[in-house]
Amino acid sequence: MKYTTLPHSNIRVSKICLGTMTWGNQNTQEEGFAQMDYALDQGVNFFDTAELYPVPANQKTYAETERIIGNWFQKTGNRDKVVLASKIAGTGDYTAHIRTDGFSPDAIKDAVEQSLKRLKTDYIDLYQLHWPERDTNTFGTRDYKHNPDDEWEDNFNEILHTLEGIISEGKIRKVGISNEKAWGTMRYVEESKYHSLPRMITIQNAYSLLNRAFEGDLAEISMREHIGLLAYSPMAFGVLSGKYIKGNAEDTARLNLFPRFSRYSSAQCTEATKRYLKIADDHQMTLAQMSLAFVTQQPFVTSNIIGATRLDQLKENIDSINLTLNDEVLKAIDMVHKEIPNPAT
């Protein structure tokens, strides 16, 4: 395994992070336990979860993933071996079963307390805001369209003050953002700099061969302000395994179970994936490992969040840490990106 530190901290994390959003829906607790056992044994010390998980979110399975992780901590005593990240859910109809008061002080405090109970721990190493409260282009919306009726009011300062109080209580160590845009990221940076408030040290956004939108303004912000990307969906919901274009995806595969998750299923995504598969085949690599290695070796990536529903998939994904793409492969990848840029956004 390879390691780095979370920016603006001395917290050492593996370059591969274990994603957990299938546990409690596609995966049982027993399977979640097996994944955590295996990942930790392979040197993966960074686990990411959220109160929202498992996905798709619904009231019946709400927060089951955190409960599974907490039960594993209780059973194994491995809490001190893991750097644990979780998130408060953002606003919207999708999360109305959780709460409806956004990132208000009461909401953040309640979310942290409830997560701590479910996770059976006294602290969370990295606490993140799952997505912005304001209307902006997240989750595959290509361009920003201003909504003049957006009722959101600027509360960056208030959020950071709330998080500062929770940090002072020892309940969270560091804070980060997720699914955020350039403007929101810099607003948090401004508030932390000019008011001596906690700094957002990471940003957890989608990043993959099919979605390189982060390489725009956010990559510069990441490098200049030292905000590390925790890349999620590096396999594009499994599309970049090649199983869907090969026609050998199981009935239990994510996009077969949940076809409404169509962000990576367009004709352009399919064509780009075929081209990436050829590059991998030509260089005797699996598409999955090539896709993951591409993400991991980007200079703005702090950790690459991988997920799997089966242990053999998890093994292949973690083993990608041993692969470094050479210039020939990178040039071939960039040629596809030039011809079919960001088909998923």
Q: Which two tokens stand for residue 223?
A: 């490098």
Segment (H or E) for 230: strand 228-231
Which of 205, 231, 20 has its CA nearest to residue 118?
20
CA atoms within 13 A on the CB side of 54: 22
Gap between the Cα atoms of 76 and 95, Å rounded = 31
User: Residues 38, 53, 127, 276: which is the catalytic one?
Assistant: 53
Q: Measured on CA atoms in the order 239, 240, 246, 249, is the torsion positive or negative?
A: negative
Task: List beta partners, residue 87.
Answer: 128
CA angle 94, 95, 100 (to 5 degrees): 125
Backbone φ, ψ for residue 137 (5° rounding): -90, 95
53 tagged catalytic: yes
Return the SS3 of 187: helix
Gap between the Cα atoms of 231 and 209, Å rounded = 12
Gap between the Cα atoms of 112 and 49, Å rounded = 13
Task: List beta partners, residue 47.
Answer: 18, 84
Q: Which residues does the annotation mark as catalytic? A: 53
